[in-house]
Amino acid sequence: MKPLKPTLSPLLTNAAASSAVMNFNAMIISFYVFFSKYLLLGIIIANLHKIMLTYI
């Protein structure tokens, strides 16, 4: 394999690094959204359970 031209290689490595960072951020955001959804669901269910226990 020939080495890349010196003008292109920094651009390519920067693009690769930025895309990796973007993928990582997207993963964190999707995990956070997923987790917060289930956390909210858990809180709502716990409150409903409390209400049911108090009224029944």
Query: Which residues contact residue 12 at a Cβ distance below 8 angstroms, ignoring those fewer than 6 apart?
Result: 4
Rounded distance, CA 28 to CA 21, Å?
A: 10
| Whether 33 contacts 41, CB under 8 Å | no
Between residues 55 and 9, which one has the greater pLDDT? 55
Q: How does pLDDT run across 1-45, given as a tens digit for each residue?
A: 566 565 667 776 777 778 888 888 888 999 999 999 999 999 999
Domain range list for the chain: 31-55
- Taking the whole predicted model, whether its pTM rises above 0.75 is answered as no
